[in-house]
Amino acid sequence: MFLTCNASVPRKKIIKVGGFDTRFEKNILEDTHLAAKLIASGMYVVPILEAAAYHIAHKAPKKQHHEKFKRNF
């Protein structure tokens, strides 16, 4: 899992891989896709287990969220 709310990546690297794919709907899986592109370009993901982040839940109904997840997947 790669959460961009708590990640540090050089800007040049994100630009090099094309950044976020805007075809993803409503911020679902786009960060995982970005991580896959970064890893494919030769970068490493180094987890810092002590790092913490707070994620505010989306207001979309669960069924709607699940449908968007399936379309993005």
Q: According to the model, what pLDDT value does residue 37 have?
A: 95
| Alpha carbons 37 and 20: distance in angstroms, whole number | 10
pLDDT of 52: 84
CA 30, chain centre distance (Å): 4
φ/ψ of residue 57, rounded to 5: -65, 145
* Rg of the chain over all Cα atoms, to the nearest angstrom: 13
Domain-wise residue ranges, the chain: 4-72
Stronger pLDDT, 45 or 17, i.e. the higher one? 17
pLDDT of residue 56: 74
Total-model pTM: 0.70
Q: For 19, which DSSP code?
A: S
What are 27-69's pLDDT values in tens digits? 778 888 999 999 999 999 888 888 888 777 766 666 666 676 6
Are 35 and 18 in contact by the 8 Å Cβ rule? The answer is no
